[in-house]
Amino acid sequence: MHKGRLKTLFTAVAGLFAGLLLAYSILSQINPEAAGGLKASKEGVSEDVVDAALKTYVPPGQLDEYYLFASGGHSGQLFVFGVPSMRRIRSIPVFNKESAVGYGWTTDTKEMLGDFDWGDAHHPALSETKGDYDGRWLFINDNANSRVARVNLDSFTTQQILGPVPNIYGPHGSVFLTPNSEYFMMASRFAGPIPYGTYSDIDNFKEDYKGVMAAIAVDPKDGNMSVGWELLLPPWSYDLSDAGKGVSDGWCFLTTYNTEEAYHLLEVESSQRERDYIVAINWKMLEQAAKDGKVKDIGGAKVIDPNDVPGSVYLVPCAKSPHGVDVTPDGKYFVGNGKLSPTVTVFSFEKFMECVNNKDFQGEERGFPIVNYEKTRVAEVEVGLGPLHTQFDDQGNAYTSLFVESAVAKWSLSDFKVSDKTQVHYCPGHLTAAEGDTVNPDGKYLVSLNKLAKDKYLSVGPSHPESMQLIDLTSSKMKVLYDSPVDPEPHFAQMIKADKIKTFEVYPKDETIEGAVYAKEDARVVRDGNNVTVYMMGFRSRYYPDTVEINEGDHVTWYLTNTDFDEDITHGFGIMFYDINCEAQPGQTQKLEFVADKAGVYPYYCTNFCSALHQEMQGYLLVKPK
């Protein structure tokens, strides 16, 4: 276009814009609501609804303020939402196969998943530096197969699965990190004979079945997980727990139920006692003991018998079959959520240490001193029925989920009184506040993870989705802003300020990557006996090579490099009838392996819509019969 005409066009557009701006400002002076439009056009809609809409609506072109990472329970995956819009942005496969991205088909991910096609992902935990989320990694446990995974937050992909971690049957009491991500802990739900595979009659439960807590070491450079050491515990059940911080750094706190040590009819038998315990563990002392070699090898792990390290484990009585335990942002208190008692019990760490130092004990159980309850406890907050978990805001308030009452209770850490309660629909398990388990919570938002949705969404048959509700924390009264349905089944979530996460856009070109091909001249098929290696390149909108001829019975290794170094240009790759499928993100190289056990002609094609000629991105695998 001619320069002069461009200038005229520009002036015209600028003029139009200025005119609009003027009209807008005049209009807003006459009637400030007219500019917003919403109030004017939605007659009969209450102020509350308008307020909720304005607080949650993120217009096109704008981004959410927080990431919400919710576990997918027995779907094995992790869901990523934006807050406040509650839009689901992504699902990240972790313990499940996911054909959308070929997770569980590529060589790497197949190896990571190992013997299991599913997992039960419960408790995501973001990595921390000085007790604050640092946005680097997310760790999550698999209750079903005693594993744990690391998701790297620069690519939102699972990069490591560790396990089964030795000796832990069902690590429900995980994942929670120490303040500098030195370790995260995993504690067992089921007591069992160790190591795995050991047989012992169920009547030997009290003697032969063990509870175990593992300390998983995290490499500060790359997040690599390894089993540090383990601690033997009584055959009780441990629930999601927390690490000390600030004044209580160096300790961690596990809640227990079934201190009755029942192994039949748990529903009745494990609910006999008025109080179970919070188990207080000096992990720094145990770390030292492990360094000093006070360990036995059991199942390939370094296992510490707490009898060999006196002063490392204490019991704090807590009512009744407590569920989660949570440490306040300043680390001064740890709070036990009563589950079968309508209370949250608040314990002072300072008082706990006084009891420990003065040996102020009220007995012992299984060789562990029980600290003086009356002295350690500072409050029993009457929150309501079925308290399960607690999170915190930036104003000195705590929020406790009430499963039985279908509510969230807000209470104060200064006077330990309930100041507000809001109904949620229905039956919340966990809740998560913005950075609400760090040393520096943001307040602002709380998400209640409700187990039942019932009538809240269009019906989809007898089983309904789970429901997450966004709650506004910016005023003294909590307000439910938004309902978001979600697939089974979030157990816990973490909410992190969006700008803490730094993603990359394309995989960098790197000639040292196994099998990578960056030029079409280098794309090739190499035969060595009956081993065939395909070095394939995908580039809009073609595969190089687009026919591959092999023989029936060949062992095939197939590399695919996506050489579109352009944000969001992902190519897929599926071979018909061979159950082969993956994707290669921009710049990425993937590896697939299979045996060509069927002769015939098998089209392959790009599964991921990548350009106007995406449909042309295809080829043929020709398998000659023997």
User: Residue 172 binds which entry of ligand CUA, ligand CUK, none, with Cβ cut-offs from 5 to 8 Å by kind?
Assistant: ligand CUK
Interacting residues of 328 by C-beta distance below 8 A, sequence separation 6+: 334, 335, 392, 398, 413
499-505's contacts with Cβ under 8 Å and 24+ in sequence apart are 500/133, 500/134, 500/135, 501/67, 501/135, 501/153, 502/135, 502/154, 503/153, 503/154, 503/155, 503/156, 504/154, 504/155, 505/567, 505/586
Among 317, 429, 572, 619, binds ligand CUK (CB under 6 A): 429
Q: Show the site string, 411-450: x = touches ligand CUA by CB under 6 A, - = not.
A: ----------------------------------------
β 524-528/531-539 pair status: antiparallel
Number of helices (H) and strands (E) in the chain: give both, helices first. Answer: 10, 43
Q: Which is nearer to ligand CUA, 225 or 610 (CB)?
A: 610
> Binding ligand CUK by CB under 6 A: which of 74, 97, 122, 147?
122
Residue nearest to ligand CUK (CB): 429
Task: Give SS3 for 2.
Answer: coil
Q: Applying CB under 6 A, what is the total number of residues that bind ligand CUA?
A: 9
| Phi, psi torsion values for 557, nearest 5 degrees | -115, 125
Binding characters for ligand CUK, 153-172, by CB under 6 A (x = yes): -------------------x
Q: 3-state DSSP call for residue 20?
A: helix
β-bridge mates for residue 600, sequence order? 623
In the set 123, 275, 540, 591, which binds ligand CUK (CB under 6 A)?
Answer: 123
Residue 374: count other Cβ atoms within 10 Å of its Cβ: 10
Minimum distance between the CB of residue 539 and ligand CUA, rounded to whole angstroms? 9
Minimum distance from residue 592 beta carbon to ligand CUA (Å)? 16
Q: Per CB under 6 A, which of residues 218..247 are in contact with ligand CUK?
A: 240
Question: Binding to ligand CUK by residue 408, rule CB under 6 A?
Answer: no
Given ligand CUA, ligand CUK, none, residue 123, with its beta carbon under 5 to 8 Å by kind, binds ligand CUK
Residue type, 124: P
**Using CA atoms, how far apart are residues 157 and 67, in angstroms rounded to an integer?**
15
Q: Draw the binding track, 557-596, toward ligand CUA (x: CB under 6 A; -: no contact).
A: --------------x-------------------------
497 binds ligand CUA (CB under 6 A): no
**132 phi and psi, to 5 degrees?**
-120, 150
Choose the one of ligand CUK, ligand CUA, none that binds residue 332, judging by a C-beta under 5 to 8 angstroms depending on kind.
Answer: none
| SS3 state at 494 | strand
CB 467 within 8 A of CB 425: yes
Interatomic CA distance for residues 287 and 243, integer angstroms: 14
> What residues numbered 594-623 form the site for ligand CUA, per CB under 6 A?
606, 608-610, 614, 617
Binding status of residue 189 toward ligand CUK by CB under 6 A = no
Give yes or no for residue 101 binding ligand CUA (CB under 6 A): no
Q: Which is nearer to ligand CUA, 215 or 617 (CB)?
A: 617
- The yes or no reply on residue 323 touching ligand CUK (CB under 6 A) is yes
Question: Nearest to residue 234, comparing CAs of 265, 258, 203?
Answer: 258
Q: Which is nearer to ligand CUK, 175 or 617 (CB)?
A: 175
Q: How far is the CB of 593 from ligand CUA (least distance, A)?
A: 22
Given a contact cutoff of 8 angstroms between Cβ atoms, the answer to whether 389 and 336 are in contact is: no
Binding site partner of 240, from ligand CUK, ligand CUA, none, Cβ cut-off 5-8 A by kind: ligand CUK
Shortest separation between residue 49's beta carbon and ligand CUK, angstroms: 30
Distances (CA, A) of 330 to 36, 87, 354, 377, 381: 41, 32, 18, 17, 19
- Complex with ligand CUA: residue 376 or 608, whichever CB lies closer: 608
Q: Tell me if 40 sits within 8 A of 33, measured CB to CB.
A: yes
Which residues of this protein are in contact with ligand CUA, per CB under 6 A?
A: 538, 541, 571, 606, 608-610, 614, 617
Which residues of this protein are in contact with ligand CUK, per CB under 6 A?
A: 122-123, 172, 240, 323-324, 388-389, 429-430, 491-492
